[in-house]
Structures are given as C-alpha cells and as structure tokens.
Structure 1
Amino acid sequence: MKKILYLFLLCLTSQAFAQIKFTNPILAGFYPDPSITKVGTDYYLVNSTFSYFPGIPVFHSKDLKNWKQIGNVIERNTQMTFLGDGTSRGLFAPSINYHKGTFYMTCTNIDKGGNFVMTAKNPAGPWSDPVWLREVKGIDPSLFFDKDKAYIVYNSDALDNKPLYSGHRTIRTYEFDPVTLKVSGEEHLLVNGGVDISKKPVWIEGPHIFKREDWYYICAAEGGTSVNHSQVILRSRSATGPYVPYENNPILTQRDLDPNRPNPITSTGHAELVEGPDGKTYAIFLAVRPYEGNFYNTGRETFIAPVKWTNGWPVINPNLKEVQYQYAADYKEIKQADAPPQNGNFSYRTTFDNKLDQSLLFLRKNDSSWYSLSKKNGFTMKLKPETCMEKANPAFLGKRQQHTFCTAKHSASIHPEIRK
C-alpha cells in the first residue's frame, strides 16, 4: 500500500513540474508581424502575408509551442486581391482580438483602401468581407476592448502632417463600435514621436493596448523593422492617456549586440504580450536569423520569450541580452493531432490530391484557370507569360522556406506539347 501511495505521489509531483521546451522561432519561415489572442485555454495567432494569397494565416495552440494552421482570413478573391502590388506591399500587420463570441481581425492594405476590419464566429473561418475604416489614417490597427468601450489604436502621421524629422510618427486612437464596426468621437493623440521625441525616435508602430490591474499599457515597436528594431512600453491610468514611458526602455532589442556573434537573432520587435497556461506573461514577436551579414532567406519569423514584471513594468527576455533559441516553462506540453511541426528540425511531405495545403501561397490572387488538382495527376499547371518579377498573377505556387539549411525535392513532369 505504501509503494502504491509513493508511486501516486511521484506521478503527481512529476505532472506538477512537467516542463515544456520552446524552440525559436516557434513559427519558422516567413511568419512576420505576429498578433495573438487568448480565448479560454486556446491561443490564436495571425501573421502578415503582404501580396501573397491566401492572406493572413490563422494558427491555433494550447501551449504556445505547438501550432496548427486552421485557416486563412482572406481566402476568397471577392474579399480582396493584390494585383498590381509589389511582393512586399499588400497586407501589413494584422491584429486578432476576441470579444463576446466574435473574433475581430484588423489590418492595413497599404496601397488599396487602407485600414479595415473583418469578423468571424469561428477563427478557422469563414471570415467576413472587409469593412473599410476610412477615418483611420495610418497603418497597423489594433483593437482594445475595455468593459463597455472599445478602441482602435494605430500608427499615424506626424502632427498636422509636418514631421520634425524623417521617421517621425504618432500613435492615435478612436473609439470603436464592435457592432457597427465604425469609429466614433474624436481622434486622440496617444504618443508623439516615440518614447523620447528629443532623441528623434523613428517609426513607432505596431501598437497594442492592454490593461493590467489599474494601468493601461501601450506596447509598440520603434526603430524600423531591420537591425535597429526594438520594443517599448508606456502606461497610463486612462485608455486615452496621457501615457508615460518606462524609464528603462526598450524592453526588447538586439541592436546593441556584437553583429559578428555566432548564430545571431536580430531585428526583434513588433511584440504582443499574452498570458501563458502557467499564468505568467510571454512575448510573441518577430525576429530574423541572418547569415553572411544581413541576409535571411527564411524571412521574418515568429519568436517567443518570457516576460518579467518589475514594479509594474514588463521586461522581455529578462536577465539576458541575447534572445535564446530555447526556453523552458513549467507547464504541460499539449501536441495537436495531425499538425505538421512548425519549429526545430523537421521534415514534411506535401501532396496534391484533391485539396491544396493551407500553407501554400499564390501571388496576389487564386486564379484556378491555370491549374487543376486530382489524385492521379496531382497539381497540374498551365504555363503563363507573366513572371514573378511582374505585379500580375503568374503560374506560381510557393511554400515557405522554414530552415536555414535544408534539402527540397519534388517530382514533376512536362506535357509533351509544352516540351516542344
């Protein structure tokens, strides 16, 4: 009886201290500008896709490590296409939120229409057509729900469109009606320039407002999205300010580290904070894994790091200078059934039976006139005169490169008429 009791207690103890290990990036390969929301015990995350189609993948996780793509926000040509847009234009910085049974996704179509909001009852879709927010001038819109009020916060122009220096931007907000999907009232200026305008901070963007205890916080990026990227934090007793910056900003950056360090992670920023399954705070942010200086064929990717609260202020990656390739936390890992791995060393096989994998990307729209799917012939393409260097819809189907060192193989055949 004692042995049985001892084994039972040992089982409880090991379960209580089960450790999960994260491998960065948690979403490898061209998953920039992450935004995350927690609904009960579920996490949902979205990323930018620029001019690729379908747009804005939606991921689900139970543990912040194992992610499964469950859909795409923009999957119908009737929602929008990106014909005429450069590959780095299109959709900028989506944000996902949940409120009273509805998921909201706000985003910027940088060259066509500006800012918009879309909704869904199920994050896997289908998502609504876009509702355009013409009054919201700028980029990177994000929603914040505060009891009986909601706000949309975004990066905007300098005051009176008169920048004091190159890269001078502001953060502003309107009240937002989650039912009519319209803004109301007066626009409020929340941040002018950045943490310290006397130092000419550039490109404060990707703002998110959240509330903790009696404080409202703005978490935003500064410095641009390259090697000078950083994350800053400000707080206020009111959602509409005034906001006071943390004296030890930035709360995340890698710009001061030796650029020649081995296996660097750089360009960290565009972060959003979220409560983990253990009740602790974690940051989800973009970064890159460069090689030979500042090349990165895997693109901007999604990373994770722990957050420590000190005197009411959050610090990302506390007590460390370099963002780590691995972290551990004291809670249980929950794997997802039928989910291909998204981080670490892995291999996969993509087949083309009767349905395209959700992670595959066209350029600018899905035009099914030049391809077909079948169990016998797989993915059959008709060649087109358009090329990837142009701004049309070429005969292109892409898969993200998710490893810095990898091998790819494919099986293909050319129809005899084409061969001639």
Structure 2
Amino acid sequence: MYCVKKITEDMYWIGASDRRLELFENVYPIPKGVSYNSYVILDEKTVLLDTVDHSVCSQFLENLEHVLDGRTLDYIIVNHMEPDHCASLAEVVIRYPEVKFVGNAKTFTMMKQFFDFDVDNRAVVIKEGDTISTGKHTLAFAMIPMVHWPEAMVTYDAYDKVLYSADAFGTFGALNGNIFADELNFEAEWLEEARRYLTNIVGKYGAQVQSALKKAAALDIEMICPLHGPVWRENLGWFIDKYQKWSTYTPEDHAVLIVYASIYGNTESAVNVLAGKISDAGEKNIAMYDVSKTDPSYILAEAFRCDRIVFACPTYNAGLFPKMETLLSELKAHNFQNRKVAVIENGTWAISAGKQMKEILSSMKNMEIYDNTLTVKSSLKRDQMEELDGIVEFLMK
C-alpha cells in the first residue's frame, strides 16, 4: 500500500524508511533506522528527484505509481549516485522506459558503472547554473562535489523556493509519520543523530561543505528537502548554523569530553576522579565515554560538539589500546581540529601511550595540547592529585 506525503500543491514526498538495517554504509550503527527520501513534482512535465535504496524499493515504486496516477514520468533528477539513492533507477526505467535522466557528466560516468541499461540515450547533461523548465517550475542546478561524492549536486526550485539538498542537511533516523522537522522534538531527539550523520559521513570535507553553504546563502530558500531525515520548512537558520559550526570544526558547546580506555578499571578510576574535580571547578557540561563500549561514530560526533577533550589510555603491547588508536585515527581521518586537549597514560611497564597519543594529536590542525602528560603507573596515587589539578586548570582557563 502506498504511503505518500503532500508537501506543496504539486510536490510530494514518496520515500520510505528502513528500521531493520543495523549499519549505515555497513559502518555506522543506526538504532533508530534511516529514511530514504524521494520527491515528485507534478507539473506540465513530471519530475522524480532521486530514488531509494533497494531495501525499500517496493514501497517506493507503489508510492511513485500512486502519485503519477497514470501519467508518464518525464524526468529523473539524480542529485547523488550513491546506491542508497540510485539503486532503484533500473526498476524505474523498466516501468517508465521513455524517462530522461538529468545529471552532470560525473553522474553519468558513475551510472554506467552501476547499470547496464542505455544511459546515453536518456541523459540530459547539465552543468553549474543550468536550468530546466517543467512548466511553472524552473529547476536550477549547483554542484557540491565531495559532499560527499564528487558528482554530488543540488537542485533549486525557484517557484516553491525549495532546495533539494542531496546528502546535505540529512540525518540518521527513520521517519515515523511526521516528515517535517517542526513536527518533531528535533533538538532533543534528532540533533544528536544529525550531528553524528554529518560529522562521520561528511566531516572530512568541511571546506567543501562551506562552499555548498555559500551557494545556498545566495538563494531564497523556504524549504530544504534532504535525502535522509526530515524536511525543513521552519527555523532553517538554526540548522544551517549547526552545519556552519560542524563544517568549520568550531565547537558547538562549551563542554568537556573525557574519552578513556581501561582494561582492569584503573584508568577509568583515574578519569572518574578527574571528572569530579572538573565538576568541582564549576563545569556543568561533562561527557564521558569508554571507547570499548561506545562505537567511534558517537564519540567522534561528541568531539565535534565539545571544545575540550581528555584522552586517557593504557599502553597495550607497546602501543595504544586498539580501540583508542581507532578513535584517534578516525578523528585524524575526519580532519578534526581546533580543540584544547589533555592526555593521561597508564601502564605497568614501558609506558608509551601518552607519547603516541600526542604524536597523533599534534598532527591535527590547531590543537592546543597540555604539556604535562599525567602518567599513571598501574593505579592513580594520592600524590598525583596536584597533577590532576593541573589538567583541570588547563581545561578551565
């Protein structure tokens, strides 16, 4: 049975949600599922904007057939060729063999790699600033390369003042009937997943996101329709400001993040003492994560949120504890920067974790690293309280 949502007088959401998928891109946990958004404009010409993942293809095809109501499909605009948005293209071609694809040159190079149907005879190749008229709607196109694939683009509808934003402004999470952000308690229930989505999927490409935001700023936008998550029609500036911070590696909150690895509990005990001292110094925003218990995608997102971070890690096989090494490698790979950090190391012999953590952190841009590494030899001792106080003083300056 079809499930569609009317957004404007002649534009519809025809996407679907997947609540069974456990890992997005087979990497990131998505306990709340994910939505795959697709949109249709019914003008003199009919236009489909992107398709969906194979997992929800059947629902999508029912939605498309219902909305078209016997009409043919004239255009498919392909804003992004990643399979979670293009996997159903072949199924659409089977049902609407005369359809034309709208995309840029890189779009069609990729399309030929994924599919065996005749691409060239269906291709309408556009470039930056080109437009297509479908009747009363005029659709304009802008390239947003590496947000987060090189062929990515957005479509702007001047008539409805809608930006079809591809993967930009998306979020993890299935849609549960309400498709508009203003129908949800977004800040309390969705913001964490929006942050985790952007920082993990696109975090490496902050400069490219900035370029995309500048293009968006030049448009009169009243609605943002992303390919994942809710549609934005109110408080656009609030959400755009979040993207501004995340893409410039600017801390979102004045907060302390404590990230630790602990084998037998001694490193955890040390950071618990530190957290208490930070609280006594007046800090009300403290987050703590055990790298062995929490997926790196959550901690990475928290690192983007907080302005100060403590990394605490035991030496393991003369190196870093593996889960901590993975997290630090992820931060570096995502171009993480602009933070104040302190380091705590632990070990019973040949302690080297602090030096190795600092080497990784110092390779990141604009990291203010506390000079004095706290070295815990097996367990924290009372005579090390002043060293903890030094870390607190550094963090609270």
Indicate whether the TM-score tops 0.5.
no
Question: Which one has the bigger strand percentage?
Answer: 1
Question: Which one has the bigger helix percentage?
Answer: 2
Structure ID, larger Rg: 2
The two structures have a TM-score, normalised by structure 1, of 0.29
The two structures have a TM-score, normalised by structure 2, of 0.30
- Structure with the larger RCO, 1 or 2 (CA within 8 Å, 6+ apart): 1
